[in-house]
Structure 1
Amino acid sequence: MMRLCVRKAREVKANISLGICGEHGGNPESIAFCHSIGLHYVAVRPLEYQ
């Protein structure tokens, strides 16, 4: 679903800045996935990073 949303957003605005914040940003596997689908940033509190 996220991959589709990123693709659709870029069809509308190619240079859109996309990212994720919150609990998923603290999971290394989630960070790798977000990078693989082209998100620009991950926001997480330092204490939440595993």
Structure 2
Amino acid sequence: MRLFEKDAMQQMHWTLDDIDEQDYQELMSVLNADENEKSVDPAEFAKQFM
């Protein structure tokens, strides 16, 4: 968790308060997401704009 806090502060300019105010379970869900959890195939999505 400390590494995430460090990265969030450096890359997203979050404060410690910003991090502390986040829902831990939701944060971990987002951080553990992988390519298989896409709701839409990117190629199919792109077709909408062509």
TM-score by length of 1: 0.30
Structure scoring higher RCO (CA < 8 A, sep ≥ 6) equals 1
Name the structure with the higher strand share. 1
